């Protein structure tokens, strides 16, 4: 199973409906932006991009909607820094690399980081999310 990106607004609305979200104009705009491609955006970045040409969505609605989307599983919340939350439009399992120089987040496909025989001994729990974060310094392709 793979995730689709670059959908049109009608298709985005359908995705929201399937996730039990009333597809209002603002919610479609936000989801349409996010689901263009796999990406990591902060609330502020989303606000700027959406309202670049004219005021489309208020700050309060952005925040309310992002939280709703996370709860409903449309996007994933990334908490790597205390500064701001990033929202990941790519919800299939994968890991992240953060370049400490730029703060940019890169996806790491699961296959690139094979983990065999995972077995969390000593902890008896229902696992909801596994997330691997790697911080480092990108080597410049000079």
Partner DNA sequence: TTGCGTGCAAACGCTTTGCATATTA
Partner DNA sequence: TAATATGCAAAGCGTTTGCACGCAA
- With CA atoms as reference, report the closest residue to 66 among 93, 29, 97: 29
Q: Does 108 bind a copy of itself (CB under 8 A)?
A: yes
Give Cβ neighbours of residue 32 (< 8 Å, ≥ 6 apart): 7, 9, 12
Residues paired with residue 105 on neighbouring β-strands, in sequence order: 98
Residue 38 CB, nearest distance to a copy of itself (Å)?
A: 14
> Pattern of binders to DNA over 19-38, x per CB under 7 A?
--xx-xxxx-----------
Are 86 and 133 in contact, with CB atoms under 8 Å apart?
no
Contact status: 124 vs a copy of itself (CB under 8 A):
yes
Q: For the chain, give the number of residues.
A: 142
**Cβ neighbour number for residue 111 with a 10 Å cutoff:** 7
Site for DNA in 105-124 (CB under 7 A): none
Does 112 bind a copy of itself (CB under 8 A)? Our answer is yes
Span near a copy of itself by CB under 8 A; candidates 16-24, 37-45, 57-65, 73-81: 73-81
Q: Which residues bind a copy of itself (CB under 8 A)?
A: 79-82, 85, 97, 99-100, 106, 108-109, 112-139, 141
């Amino acid at each position: 199973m793979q995730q689709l990106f670059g959908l049109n607004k009608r298709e985005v609305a359908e995705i929201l409906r399937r996730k039990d979200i009333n597809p209002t104009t603002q919610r479609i705009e936000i989801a349409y932006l996010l689901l263009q491609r796999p990406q990591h955006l902060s609330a502020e970045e989303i606000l700027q991009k959406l309202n670049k040409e004219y005021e489309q969505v208020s700050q309060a609605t952005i925040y309310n909607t992002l939280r709703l989307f996370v709860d409903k599983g449309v996007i994933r919340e990334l908490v790597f820094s205390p500064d701001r939350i990033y929202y990941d439009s790519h919800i299939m399992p994968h890991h992240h690399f953060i370049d400490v120089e730029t703060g940019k987040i890169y996806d790491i496909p699961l296959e690139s980081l094979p983990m065999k025989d995972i077995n969390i001994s000593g902890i008896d729990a229902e696992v909801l999310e596994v997330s691997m974060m790697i911080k480092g310094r990108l080597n410049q392709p000079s």
